Amino acid sequence: MASAEEETTASRDLMWRLIGPVSELSNRQCRLIYSSFGYDSDVCLFHVKGDFFAMDARCSHSGGPLCDGDIEEANGVLQVFCPWHDYDFNLKTGKSNTGLQQQVHEVKVEDGSVFVKHASLLSLKPFPMVSKN
């Protein structure tokens, strides 16, 4: 039987998480994907110029909602601009010209479905609140 410590470690392992069908997910430039770890671990799934990109949804500067940011291409680099203070983040690498680094996640498309590699469960719908009692 696994110890509590082993279970905690296992739950942090990165796994491919099924998000949904390409046909549905490609019709919006960005959508919020909920994490079972909670608000701070939610993910933005971008679909830009035929490619999917995933990064943490809360800006590494002060937590702004990157899913609401503008997406622009400059010199072949796709970037999202945080709506709160306009910091840029490279959609592929998560790097910002400010020196900040946004966590990005691997994405793959297989058999018409989009998968994101993440330690938590991911869902298009919010996870139910867990009672602390």
Nearest residue (CB) to ligand FES, 87 versus 115: 87
CB of 3 to ligand FES, least distance (A): 39
Nearest residue (CB) to ligand FES, 43 versus 82: 82
Nearest residue (CB) to ligand FES, 91 versus 114: 91
* Cβ-Cβ contacts under 8 Å for 10 (sequence gap 6 or more): 2
- Structural contact between residues 33 and 45, judged by C-beta atoms closer than 8 angstroms: yes
* 91 vs 76: CA distance, rounded Å: 11
Task: Note whether 95 binds ligand FES by CB under 6 A.
Answer: no
Q: Among candidates 49, 57, 28, 45, which has minimal Cα distance to 107?
A: 45
Count of residues making up the chain: 133
CB of 132 to ligand FES, least distance (A): 28
Q: One symbol per residue from 44 to 73: x for binding ligand FES (CB under 6 A), - otherwise; what is it?
A: ---------------x-xxxx---------
* 81 vs 89: CA distance, rounded Å: 6
Q: Please identify which residue in the block is written with the tokens 């469960």.
A: 121
Among 30, 45, 57, 82, binds ligand FES (CB under 6 A): 82
Helix (H, G, I), strand (E, B) or coil at 113: strand
Nearest residue (CB) to ligand FES, 20 versus 83: 83
Footprint of ligand FES on this chain (CB under 6 A)?
Answer: 59, 61-64, 82, 84-85, 87
